[in-house]
Structure 1
Amino acid sequence: MQDADLTRLALAAGAGAPGAADRLVGELRSDVTRFIASMAEPGWVEELTQETLIRALRGLPRFAARSSARSWLLTIARHTVADRYRAAASRPATVSVDDCERAQTRTGAAHGRFEEEVALLNLLASLPEPRRTAFVLTRIEGFAYTEAAEMTGVPVGTVRSRVARARSDLADALRLAEDPAAPAEPAEPAESVAGAGRTTRTA
């Protein structure tokens, strides 16, 4: 279903149209699950997906279509994941052996494909959260930079910078995985803050 149709469906659900909310959940649940799986620890995905959908259903009467329904829902998903990490007082971790074994049993994926998916999750989990979010939204979920900027509450230029840095980080990680002795690319110089007499780095 196209974004415009999903947005109309969300508005109808918010207005109480029979069956609209269930249909909306059915259309977008897989998007929410995939997005959360790229952001959170595997053992949390199912629970956080359900929590996101519950939050969305409660918020439907207030949905005003200022963004697409899909963008709105994934913003809720991002906040849900962030809330869980804050509650756990921890940073995103790499995939554990137990999580991998459970995922392999649950999905029944072919061995090669499963290993590729686990490797991708590990690489994404190694990124700082702002870079990971920007990369997932634009390069995996397919949102435009302007949409990702709106969803994360930062300027478009910041999103572009975070995506570029994420790509560089992932490239370094891939080189290291293939050749542990390979040096990483030189870090980008710190950015000067005009008039502040100091330097800083962007996320």
Structure 2
Amino acid sequence: MQCTPPSSPVPLLPRASPPALPAPSVGEAAVRDDETVTAWALAARSGDADAIECFIRATQNDVRRYVARLSNDPQGADDLVQETYLRALRSLPRFEGRASARTWLLTIARRTVVDRLRFNAARPRVSDTDDWQSAAERAQTAQLPGFDEGVALSQLLDRLPYERREAFVLTQMLGLPYAEAAVVAGCPVGTVRSRVARARESLICQLETAERDAVRMPVAA
């Protein structure tokens, strides 16, 4: 469907039942116009199915990337995305547009991830390796088949402390201004700037170490 901004504000009506989430549209670019996304969210408060679908399509890529990096669990990202939007749709009638809808949504995504991490931490562990596939990817080196820059970035980000990884993903990967990232993370802007700077330092240090190690590796005959 073609998503266009609502022509006029939509009045708040009683809460509607959350609809099923639409499947991602292949090749569809995410809408970066926060005013348009917020207008869709405001229109969606009435249960407008078209506005809800446009809002989800415009934001789901950012939500998926954010929860995947923040949770350090790419395989569980779809469940976190689904839960984020279910929570968001239940809360839409109370959304007043004081902050951008994207920032508001990522705040909900953050709470969803934190709740999942707390739940997982409380569960008894049945194995030292919860996700063997992720562990294998992290152990893979650049010299092996199947290596790409996306895997390399995942490996580097996984090693960052939680707070630095979050700040880096919000500002450097999702493109949020530092002020909005601070709202999502629930901390001062200066703290976000400091975390991003330290994340960059750590990433550069890891890259330099990886390059030195690659030089020292013997070349197969």
TM bracket (short chain): 0.7 to 0.9
Rounded Cα–Cα distance in structure 2 between residues aligned with 1:96 and 1:87: 16
Hey, what's the Cα distance between the residues in 2 that align with 1:33 and 1:152? 17
Residue in 2 that maps onto 1:17: 48
Find the aligned partners of 1:163 and 1:150 in 2 and give their Cα distance.
15
Q: Which residue does the alignment assign to 2:178?
A: 145
Matches within 5 A, 1:51-66: 51-66=83-98
Selected match of 2:150 from 94, 117, 120: 117
Matches within 5 A, 1:145-164: 145-164=178-197
In the other structure, the counterpart of 1:173 is 206
In 1, Cα distance between equivalents of 2:108 and 2:169: 15
The structure 1 residue matched to 2:133, chosen from 92, 98, 118, is: 98
Distance in structure 1 (CA, Å) of the matches to 2:209 and 2:108: 34
Give the aligned length: 170
- Secondary structure of the structure 2 residue equivalent to 1:89: helix
Match in the other structure for 2:104: 72
Distance in structure 1 (CA, Å) of the matches to 2:212 and 2:114: 33
Give structure 1 stretches of 5+ with no counterpart.
103-110, 182-203
TM-score (norm 2): 0.69
Query: Could you give the per-residue CA deviations for residues 20-55 of structure 1, whole angstroms, max 9, x where no partner exists?
Result: 212211222122112222222122111111111111
Task: Answer whether contact 2:103 2:183 (CA < 8 A) is retained.
Answer: no
Structure 2 residue matching 1:19: 3-state secondary structure: helix
Please name the residue that 1:199 is paired with: none
One-letter amino acid of the structure 2 residue matched with residue 98 of structure 1: Q
- 2:98 corresponds to which letter in structure 1? R
Q: Which has the higher helix share?
A: 1
Provide the C-alpha distance between the structure 2 equivalents of 1:152 and 1:168, rounded to a whole number of angstroms: 20
Contact 1:100 1:118 in 2 (8 A): no
Distance 1:16 1:71 in 2: 21
* Offset from partner CA, 1:109-166 (integer Å, 9 cap, x none): xx76x62211111111111111111111111111111111111121111111111011
Is the 1:134–1:163 contact (alpha carbons within 8 Å) kept by the matching residues of 2? yes
- Of the three residues 47, 64, 81, the one matched with 1:33 is 64
Distance 1:149 1:49 in 2: 21
Q: Percent identity at matched positions?
A: 50
- 1:87 Cα deviation after fit: 1.1
* Structure 2 residues without counterparts, runs of 5 or longer: 1-30, 123-128, 138-144, 215-221
CA contact (8 A) 1:145 1:159 kept: yes
Q: CA deviation at 1:17?
A: 2.9
Contact in 1 for aligned 2:170/2:176 (Cα 8 Å) = yes
Tell me how far apart the structure 2 counterparts of residues 101 and 57 of structure 1 sit (CA, whole Å).
Answer: 36
Q: Within 1, Cα distance between the matches of 2:110 and 2:169?
A: 11
Q: What's the counterpart of residue 193 of structure 1?
A: none
